[in-house]
A and B are shown apart, each in its own frame.
Chain A
Amino acid sequence: DVKVTQSSRYLVKRTGEKVFLECVQDMDHENMFWYRQDPGLGLRLIYFSYDVKMKEKGDIPEGYSVSREKKERFSLILESASTNQTSMYLCASSFPRVYGYTFGSGTRLTVV
């Protein structure tokens, strides 16, 4: 069974902390994505990567960075967490030009 695994289901961090959200896929997918999900706003793309060490900004990259040192792992980094980054974070992966994505089950991050 193919999988996208997010390291934490729930996370609570303090304002100003550096936060790492990890995502690992076992499908050899080239593309990986980080989305943020908020009520009434749907899913908004933060960053995506189409190859190792390659990344592109999505619609809301401010306050975030990413790292992809290995094909299977895509990390989202909150350099200095703020309360407005409290949200659900979803990771996904796909092959190029293939329909749809495979999603992880999300990390609900609370910044206090």
Chain B
Amino acid sequence: AQTVTQSQPEMSVQEAETVTLSCTYDTSESDYYLFWYKQPPSRQMILVIRQEAYKQQNATENRFSVNFQKAAKSFSLKISDSQLGDAAMYFCAYRSALGSARQLTFGSGTQLTVLP
């Protein structure tokens, strides 16, 4: 079974600064997808960014980028120019690319505080 580990329960960052959230995972599969989700106080889970394991290029979405290290099974999220609206719980998630696989496996989350 796959596992996802987020070792930082809480992080804080100054507004306009950069912060990196860590995620490691364990799998024996070679093809899979990785995700970062954001859960603000509204509780609505929002997809921030995704990465396909077969792609060597790191995914980027505006101020959000990932550092995907497949050999190390590491998938960190970098938030640049942090804004107050980035304050939320962030979850890393894994999904197998096997045809029958459907479910996401989540980490325990990192609570990000943005300081004005």
Interface residues, chain A, CB within 8 Å of chain B? 31, 33, 35, 40-45, 48, 50, 58, 88, 90, 92, 94, 96-97, 99-101, 103, 105-106
- B57 nearest CB across to chain A (Å): 16
Could you say which residues of chain B place their CB within 8 Å of the CB of A45? 103-105
Contact with A along B20-38 (1 / 0, CB 8 A): 0000000000000101010
Q: 24 A-B contacts, Cβ less than 8 Å apart?
A: A33-B102, A35-B106, A42-B4, A42-B6, A42-B108, A43-B91, A43-B104, A45-B103, A45-B104, A48-B102, A48-B103, A58-B103, A97-B99, A99-B35, A99-B47, A99-B50, A100-B35, A100-B47, A100-B104, A101-B45, A101-B47, A105-B42, A105-B44, A106-B43
- Please determine whether A105 and B43 come into contact, CB atoms closer than 8 angstroms: yes
**Main SS of chain A's interface residues?**
strand
Tell me the number of A-to-B contacts counted with CB atoms below 8 Å.
Answer: 50
Number of chain B interface residues as a range: 20 to 34
Could you say which residues of chain A place their CB within 8 Å of the CB of B104? 33, 43, 45, 100-101
Could you say which residues of chain A place their CB within 8 Å of the CB of B9? 40
- A59 nearest CB across to chain B (Å): 8
- A57 nearest CB across to chain B (Å): 11
Could you say which residues of chain A place their CB within 8 Å of the CB of B109? 42
Q: Which of B44-61 contact A (CB under 8 A)?
A: 44-45, 47, 50
